[in-house]
Amino acid sequence: MEILVCVKRVPDTAENEIEVNKDGTGIETDDLVYSVNEWDNYAVEEAIQIRDKVGGSVTIVSVGDEESEEVVRREMAMGADNGLLLTDDAFEGSDGKGTATLLKAVVEKGNYDLILTGAQADDGAGQVGGMLATMLDMPYASLVNAIEMLDDKKLKIGREIEGGNQEMSEIELPCVLSIQTGINEPRYVGIRGIRKVASIEIPVYGAGDLGLSADAIGAAGAGVKRLDYFVPELGEGAEMLEGSTEEIVEKLIELLKAKGGIK
């Protein structure tokens, strides 16, 4: 089984307070800690587990700036066999369709049976996997939380649907699946693991290597464009309790009593 896993380098929301920058053109990037998109880690772990069971290889691919190499390497340290980095100034400003177009070009250079993406990334879109599948004319399933190999032509998969219910289907290979968190427990990668893959060459592709015309990708090809960033105002906002911890605890207990929160 030849498996391709798409991963994105994103600001780590658990490590950063994400804030809009002064002129509203983006988020504040000073001191941002980046990591691999949470969902993509589960996709890589799943790919490695499948390969370990049935053989084959796992290839990691990321579209991004040069720094994205570090997340490709990190995922290789988990146990993937190959890595690829797609980087070029011409890719900047790509929308979801642009990113899918780039990934399609990579898929067509290889011979993959299974392509995995995360369910969604930092901007909460959840679009690249489904677009890629249709571009490749492959079947697709989103929010996958279980994969079982039936034979070399078919998988049995579970999709997570509302209320925690699970929708079971059979899907033909080759296919594209977007992976939901919780499908497995991604393995821990230590410094030693990273060191082990530190000297592996990661091929870098630009627009020319992928044979793509400039108007299909980047800002020029984007039908969807971000105009500005702002802080959302939903409702009135909470009344913040201030004071010493003791005072706050006292106020909170009064409120909880009044609302029936303490029995």
Partner 1 sequence: MAKIFTYITFKNGVPDDSALELVNAAKQIAPDASPTAVVVGSGIDALCKEVAASYAEVWKVDNEAFAYPNAEVIRNVLSSILPQECILLVPHDTFGMDLSPGLSIKMDTVFMPDTVGFGGLEGSMLKCIRQEYGGAVSTHVSCDITKGAILNIRPGAFQPDESKAAAGQVVDKSAEAGDLSTKRVYLETVAAEVGDVDITKEDVLVSIGRGIEDEDNIEIAEDLAKAMGAVVSCSRPIVDAKWLEKSRQVGTSGQTVKPKVYLACGISGSFQHLGGLKGNPFVVAINKNPKAPIFQVADVGIEADILDFLPELTEAIENL
Ligand X SMILES: Nc1ncnc2c1ncn2[C@@H]1O[C@H](COP(=O)(O)O)[C@@H](O)[C@H]1O
Ligand Y SMILES: Cc1cc2nc3c(=O)[nH]c(=O)nc-3n(C[C@H](O)[C@H](O)[C@H](O)COP(=O)(O)OP(=O)(O)OC[C@H]3O[C@@H](n4cnc5c(N)ncnc54)[C@H](O)[C@@H]3O)c2cc1C
- Interface residue with ligand X among 63, 106, 133, 147 (CB under 6 A) is 63
Report, in Å, the least distance between residue 126 CB and partner 1: 5
- The verdict on 93 binding partner 1 (CB under 8 A) reads no
Positions in 158-177 near partner 1 (CB under 8 A) = 158-172, 175
Non-local (6+) Cβ contacts of 141 within 8 A are 157, 159, 169, 171, 175, 177, 178
| 8 A C-beta contact, residue 135 and residue 100 | yes
Residue 238, helix vs strand vs coil: coil
Helix (H) or strand (E) holding 204: strand 204-205
- Per partner kind, with CB cut-offs from 5 to 8 A, the member of ligand Y, partner 1, ligand X, none near residue 156 is partner 1
Interatomic CA distance for residues 169 and 98, integer angstroms: 29
37 binds ligand X (CB under 6 A): yes
- The pattern of x and - marking residues 91 through 120 that bind ligand X according to CB under 6 A reads -----x--x-----------------xx-x
* Residue 117-136 contact track with ligand X, rule CB under 6 A, x = bound: xx-xx---xxxxx-------
Distance CA 113, CA 147 (A): 14
Are 249 and 255 within 8 A, CB to CB?
no
The least CB distance from residue 251 to ligand X, in Å, is 41
Taking the alpha carbons at both ends of the chain, their separation in whole angstroms is: 57
Kindly state the smallest distance separating residue 130's Cβ from ligand X, in Å.
Answer: 8
Closer residue to ligand Y in complex, CB, 55/182:
182
Contacted entry of partner 1, ligand X, ligand Y, none for residue 6, CB cut-off 5 to 8 Å set by kind: ligand X
Indicate the burial class of 139 (C-beta count within 10 angstroms; 0-12, 13-18, 19 or more): middle
Binding stretches for ligand X (CB under 6 A): 6-8, 37, 39-40, 62-64, 96, 99, 117-118, 120-121, 125-129
